[in-house]
Amino acid sequence: METIRGKAFIFGKNIDTDQILPGYAMSVPPEELGNYALKGSSKPDFAEVVELGDIIFAEDNFGCGSSREQAPLALKNCGLGAIVGSSFARIFRRNAINIGLPVLVTNDIERIIKESTERDVFEINIDKARLKNISTNKSYNLVRLSDTTYETLQAGGLINKVKKILIERGERIEQ
């Protein structure tokens, strides 16, 4: 899979979906969702400052709360490349993977944050399950994705995978 490269934004633990995408923004059209990414968090200007490929470092339980897929979609649409965290809430994690936004677990999040500065640039190699701080030349291990998760990400999300299953079943689908 393609390498992800960008600077990092640091978030603490228990960042819930209301902070990632507030309830009032759940009705906006998908193409506008990016403007509301993390609007309810301690970094309400996130959508304005994030650049394509940037990464979020998060502590435990990122994405807890509701099932709103608008939350990971807002993050993806504003240009975020990946989220690296010590743990993720289940629905958020699956939603992100299903729309092709990599969420990666690491046991080293504290060290990664401690050994970096705001200006550092990072690179993620999903195939090798490695995160590299380009600025300091230090590398860190990520937890390898399960085969199913890897397949879904590689297919560009769940929808493409479902199409494949239906074709294998011999069902007619519009391409």
Partner 1 sequence: MSKINIIERIIAMHAGKEVVSVGEEVSVTVDLAIAHDVTAPMAIEQFEKIGVSKVFDSTKIALVSDHNIPCSSVNSRLQHKALESFSDQYDVHYFGRSEGVIHQIISEEKLYKKGDIIVGADSHTCTAGAYGVVAIPVGSTEMAAVMALGSIDLEVPVTEVIAINGSLNPGVYAKDVILHVIGKFGTNGFTDKAVIFSGDTIISMNNEEKMTIANMMIEMGVMIGYIDQGDEEIGEVSTIHEISAETIVPCVACPSSPGNVKPIVDVSGVRINQAVLGSCTNGRYSDMEIAAKVIEGRKIAKNVNMIVFPGSKKIVEKMEKNGLTKVFRDAGAVITNPGCGPCFGAHQGLLSSDDVAVSSTNRNFPGRMGHKDAQIYLASPRIVAESAILGYLSSPGTVMPLEDE
Residues near partner 1 (CB under 8 A) are 14, 16-19, 22-24, 26-30, 40-41, 60-61, 64-70, 72-73, 87, 89-91, 94-95, 98-99, 146, 148, 157-159, 162-163, 165-166, 171-175
Q: How far is the CB of 36 from partner 1 (least distance, A)?
A: 11
Distance between CA 160 and CA 165 in Å, rounded? 9
Residue 146's CB is within 10 A of a number of other CB atoms, namely 10
Q: How far is the CB of 49 from partner 1 (least distance, A)?
A: 18
Q: How far is the CB of 65 from partner 1 (least distance, A)?
A: 6
Of 9 and 36, CB closest to partner 1? 36
Distance between CA 9 and CA 3 in Å, rounded? 18
Q: CA 81, 132, 120 angle in degrees (round to 5)?
A: 75
Of 7 and 97, CB closest to partner 1? 97
Q: How far is the CB of 171 from partner 1 (least distance, A)?
A: 7
Q: What would the DSSP string read from start to end of 81-147?
A: -EEEES-B-HHHHHHHHHTT--EEE-S-HHHHHHT--TT-EEEEETTTTEEEETTTTEEEE-PPPPH
